[in-house]
């Protein structure tokens, strides 16, 4: 019974603490990204495909255990006024000075966090650190994908202020679960990003610009669907859950003219492009036959880290 109530809450209430792209979409995005990598990288990533895929959801899983994790998945751009994505400070330290750490954490930090993880991944490539390359690749994939979700860029993230509660799960879980098998994931090769931090801001700006239709299409449809047609009950294992009906979900899918598919394709392309950029910026190391670092090598890296702990990125790593 307890489990059942929980599921209902997850599906209908939704909150920053609960949702990201559904697990399915996150895993699919990381998986597809691997196939767009250049020859020098694809072998390595394919070899570790199960890990890269499974760990795509690790950041969401640890949100309950790590208090500061939640803020890394979203940014409520609208609390900062018009054109926030263009106006907010790009440098973390400047942003902290201007708004305070508390405020930033409360309203989300995803674009800054993408910059940080990108920096860490570049370093991991430089150090030929197999385990960190894998972990950071999988997690960077998660944060980049989250930044592509329009509802991750607004304080009205679950329609709670516009009587559209549940819209978060509808957009990023229900729709991909139903239609992603039909999505076209034929995407061109990964591209080098001249300025990965700046790209992160462009991603959230674009996602934010898509919000208008996310809300308006749902609103229009709700006027034409009765409550019992809008929702249905589905069996999930031993529980029955209330979900958006297939008919309503399909109408929303059509009304959005492929928006979820577009954003998911964009996510795949960007995730691969971030990995590729980190590898290029690290000097294109040979990763074809990487083995885990020995304890001695790890110790050496730790030593170097404490010796050279300067700069904004290192400061946030602790
Ligand atoms: Zn997330």
Q: Residue 58: is its pLDDT beyond 60?
A: yes
List the structure tokens of 212.
């208008």
- More confident of the two residues 70 and 64: 70
Q: State the distance from the centre of ligand 1 to the C-alpha of 143, rounded, in angstroms.
A: 6
**Dmax of the chain from CA atoms?**
66
44 Cα to the center of ligand 1, angstroms: 25
**Higher pLDDT among residues 22 and 176, named by residue:** 176
Examine the pLDDT at 310 and tell me if it is beyond 70. Answer: no
Counting residues of the chain whose pLDDT is more than 90, the rounded percentage is 76
CA–CA separation, 194 and 255 (whole Å): 35
- Asked if pLDDT for residue 6 goes beyond 80, the answer is no
The CATH homologous superfamily to which domain 2-288 belongs is: P1 Nuclease (1.10.575.10)
**C-alpha span between 304 and 306 (Å, rounded):** 6
Cβ–Cβ under 8 Å, residues 261 and 269:
no
pLDDT tens-digit profile of 238-287? 888 889 999 999 999 999 999 999 999 999 999 999 999 999 999 999 99
**% of the chain with per-residue pLDDT over 70:** 90
| pLDDT for the residue numbered 215 | 98
Provide the angle, in degrees to the nearest 10, between the axes of the packed helices 110-126 and 92-99: 150
- Which residue in 68, 111, 118, 70 sits closest to 91, CA to CA? 111
d(CA 299, CA 280): 26
CA 59 – ligand 1 centroid, Å: 6
CA of 226 to the centre of ligand 1 (A): 32
pLDDT tens figures, 176-219 = 989 888 999 999 999 999 999 999 999 999 999 999 999 999 99
Res 10 pLDDT > 80: no
Tokens of 185: 């994931």
Contact by Cβ (8 Å): 73, 59: yes
**Cα of 37 from ligand 1 centre, angstroms:** 23
Q: 202 alpha carbon to ligand 1 midpoint, in Å?
A: 18
Which two structure tokens, joined as six digits, stand for 284? 């294109």
Phi, psi angle pair for 13, to nearest 5°: -80, -60
3-state secondary structure of 90: coil
Q: Look at residue 298 in the predicted model and tell me its pLDDT.
A: 80
User: What is the residue-averaged pLDDT of the chain?
Assistant: 89
Domain boundaries, the chain: 2-288
pLDDT in tens, 104-153: 999 999 999 999 999 999 999 999 999 999 999 999 999 999 999 999 99
Q: Hey, which residues does 236 pair with through a beta bridge?
A: 239
C-alpha to C-alpha distance for 5 and 1, rounded to whole angstroms: 6
Tell me what pLDDT residue 300 has.
81
Q: How wide is the angle at C-alpha 279 spanned by C-alphas 186 and 42, nearest 5°? A: 40
- Ion ligand 1, residue ranges at CB < 5 A: 20, 60, 73, 146
Mean pLDDT of 56-83: 94
């Amino acid at each position: 019974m307890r489990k059942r109530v929980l599921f209902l809450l997850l599906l209908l209430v939704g909150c920053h603490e609960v949702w990201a792209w559904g697990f399915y979409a996150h895993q699919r995005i990381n998986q597809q990204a691997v196939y767009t990598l250049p020859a020098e990288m694809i072998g390595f990533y394919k070899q570790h495909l199960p890990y890269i895929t499974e760990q795509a959801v690790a950041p969401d899983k640890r949100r309950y255990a790590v208090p500061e994790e939640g803020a890394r998945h979203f940014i409520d751009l609208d609390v900062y006024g018009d054109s926030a994505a263009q106006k907010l400070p790009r440098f973390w330290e400047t942003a902290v000075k201007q708004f305070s750490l508390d405020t930033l954490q409360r309203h989300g930090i995803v674009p800054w966090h993408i910059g940080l993880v990108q920096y860490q991944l570049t370093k991991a490539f430089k150090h030929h650190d197999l385990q960190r390359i894998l972990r950071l690749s999988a997690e960077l994939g998660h944060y980049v994908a989250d930044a592509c979700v329009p509802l991750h860029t607004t304080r009205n993230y679950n329609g709670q202020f516009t009587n559209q509660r549940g819209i978060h799960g509808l957009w990023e879980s229900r729709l991909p679960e139903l239609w992603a098998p039909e999505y076209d994931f034929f995407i061109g090769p990964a591209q080098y990003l001249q300025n990965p931090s700046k790209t992160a801001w462009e991603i959230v700006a674009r996602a934010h610009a898509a919000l208008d239709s996310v809300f308006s299409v749902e609103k229009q449809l709700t006027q034409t669907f009765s409550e019992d047609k809008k929702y249905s009950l589905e069996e999930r294992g031993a529980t029955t859950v209330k979900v958006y009906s297939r008919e309503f979900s399909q109408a929303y899918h059509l009304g959005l003219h492929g928006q979820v598919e577009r954003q998911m394709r964009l996510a795949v392309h960007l995730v691969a492009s971030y990995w590729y950029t980190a590898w290029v910026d690290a000097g294109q190391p040979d990763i074809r036959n990487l083995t885990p670092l020995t304890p001695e090598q790890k110790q050496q890296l730790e030593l170097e880290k404490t010796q050279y702990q300067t700069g904004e990125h290192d400061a946030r790593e602790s």
